[in-house]
Amino acid sequence: MSTSVIYPVKAAPALGFLKSSRNDIEIFVEDSSAPNMWVNLLRRFLPPGVHIESVNVLGSRKNVLAACKADQVDDQRKKLYIIDPDLDLLKGHPKPRLKHLYRLRAYCVENYLIQEQAFVASATIFDPEVDESTASQKLNLHGWLGRNRDTLKRLFVCYAVTHELAGQHETVGYQVQRLKISGRGNFDLCPVKTSLRVINLYRCVRRQCSKAETRMAFDRIGRNAEAMTVEIFVSGKDYIFPLLYSCVKYLFRVNINIKSFKTMIATNTDASIDPYLSRRLRRLCK
């Protein structure tokens, strides 16, 4: 099994310089395993004529922030450090005030891949007998989101509250497959299993915080959730994408692993999902 090299924080500027002959812009990302997905995705956002062949994977968000903080000079290099907001979106935490830093507008990069046309395009490759219209009907991404929206919202509001008030308890790391409706061919979350998960976490929070403090956190984070969609504030990497990947595997005989599937999906992503990233890259590449 191949893995990506995670480069040390202090090496970031030198690494970008070494790759400058292959890249018109230096991109540093919070990731450890999917550089080709990033390349395919970023090519959708870059202006015409701007070339990128690789990105620099730094692992955790902490590493990316440390590298960015150490690289605050304006040295004429075209560079961008990209981080995920994760649960900070629901908690309402602002982006760190650092030059050359960009925080994604959704929970993580996988959220940018959750686009019907990208899934449909891949489905028609793996099932050459299905046309786009039929693939769209079979996948029914809007239907899946509609059926799971309330369950996902309730769960991730609880995750954000728990992370804020009782951070030692597991939240998003809890495997989504444990919350899925049992049975072959079903890829929806189980409302009963999810409710039990929320109740258990609520009890964990209440053992550490007062009822009033807990309620205030739920109300505040719940209002933040109302201002967004689940496609924005729910983890695409850990919750939405794994279920949709299992669905397309089942429906369209997809026979590649999830990392390869993400890399394929990224080639068909519509950059309109984040116009701010397109604008930032255009300014950098002038």
- Are 254 and 278 members of one domain? no
Identify whether 220 is part of a domain: yes
Q: Which of 69-83, 102-116, 165-179 comes out lowest in average pLDDT?
A: 69-83
What is the chain's mean pLDDT, rounded?
A: 93
24 and 142 housed in the same domain: no
- Over 60: is that where the pLDDT of 174 sits? yes
Same domain assignment for residues 147 and 92: no
Confidence of residue 74 (pLDDT cuts 50, 70, 90): confident
Query: Which one, of 274, 283, 275, 266, lies nearest residue 79 by Cα?
Result: 283
Shared domain for 237 and 195, answered yes or no, is: yes
- Average pLDDT over every residue of 212-238: 98
Q: What pLDDT band is residue 10 in, cutting at 50, 70 and 90?
A: low
User: 155 with 84, same domain?
Assistant: no
Range of the domain at 181: 116-266
Considering the domain architecture, whether residues 20 and 160 belong to the same structural domain is answered as no
Q: Residue 4 falls within a domain, yes or no? A: no
Produce one character per residue of 176-187: b if its CB has 16 or more CB atoms within 10 Å, e if not.
Answer: beebbeeeeeeb
Residue 27 is predicted with a pLDDT of: 95
Return d(Cα 28, Cα 13) in angstroms, integer: 10
Q: Check whether residue 130 and residue 108 sit in a common domain.
A: no
Q: What's residue 2's pLDDT?
A: 42
Q: Residues with Cβ < 8 Å from 222, sequence gap 6 or more? A: 157
Q: Residue 234's pLDDT band (boundaries 50, 70, 90)? A: very high
Residue 32 is encoded by which pair of tokens? 């450890």
- Evaluate whether residue 224 is within a structural domain: yes
* Residue 2 lies inside a defined structural domain of this protein: no
Residue 243 has pLDDT above 70, yes or no: yes
Shared domain check, 31 and 162: no
Kindly tell me the number of DSSP H helices and DSSP E strands found in the chain. Answer: 13, 4
**Does some domain include residue 238?**
yes
Please report, rounded to a whole number, the percentage of residues in the chain having pLDDT higher than 70. 93
Task: Spell 59-78 as b/e; 16+ CB within 10 A means b.
Answer: bebebbbbbbeebeeeeeeb
Please indicate, yes or no, whether residues 155 and 280 belong to a single structural domain of this protein.
no
Residue 88: predicted pLDDT? 98
Q: In the structure, what pLDDT confidence band is assigned to residue 8 with cuts at 50, 70 and 90?
A: low
d(CA 181, CA 101): 40
Share of the chain above pLDDT 90, in %: 87
Its pTM stands at: 0.92
Q: Is residue 31 part of a domain?
A: yes
pLDDT average, residue stretch 113-124:
96
Average pLDDT over residues 112-138: 96
DSSP strands (E only) in the chain:
26-29, 56-57, 79-83, 101-103
> What is d(CA 228, CA 158) in angstroms, rounded to the nearest whole number?
16
Work out how many domains the chain is built from and give that number. 2
Say if 60 falls within a structural domain: yes
